[in-house]
Amino acid sequence: MKTVRPCSQIIAQLRNAGLRPTRQRIALGRQLFENGDRHVTAEMLHQEAVQAKVRVSLATVYNTLHQFTEAGLLREIVVDSQRSYFDTNMADHHHFFYEGQNKLEDISPDQVVVSTLPEAPAGTAIKRVDVIVRVS
């Protein structure tokens, strides 16, 4: 019987995305991806890492989240000019944002219908449509 190392899935995920599996990327990847789909800010992930005894700076967490996003492992959800969440659910979907709680919740794509879109400006193409429904 083949023994699977605890980090082997994260290491493979990083390599498949073209990222070198450094100790910090593996540790942060485990925090992000081993517990199902979730939404985190850099500060939230940093706090979780510190509690898990992972030695990592907040700057490294920010850099890693952006590297994971550029590599297609995460989606950045900008809720306002000072707050971004990073979503591990890469399938098409939308979000409720609970303003009083600073919390995101997934909305199934079949629950939101965008019937018309303007034409994209010349020389561009629409990549995707993100809907954030703000609730209090």
pLDDT, tens digit, 9 for 90 and up, residues 110-120:
999 998 999 99
% of the chain surpassing 70 pLDDT = 96
Chain-centre distance for alpha carbon 19: 16
Q: Of 49, 43, 4, whose CA–CA distance to 26 is shortest?
A: 49
Distance CA 108, CA 51 (A): 32
- What pTM value is reported for the model? 0.88
Q: Is residue 3, in this structure, part of any structural domain at all?
A: no
Q: Is residue 1, in this structure, part of any structural domain at all?
A: no
Report the CATH number at residue 38: 1.10.10.10
Q: Is residue 20, in this structure, part of any structural domain at all?
A: yes
- Are 50 and 33 a contacting pair, CB within 8 Å? no
* pLDDT, tens digit (0-9, with 9 covering 90-100), for 13-49: 999 999 999 999 999 999 999 988 999 999 999 999 9
Structural domain harbouring 126: 8-135
* Cβ count near 46 (within 10 Å): 22
Q: Is residue 2, in this structure, part of any structural domain at all?
A: no
For the chain, how many structural domains are there in total? 1
Handedness of CA 15, 18, 22, 26 (dihedral sign): negative
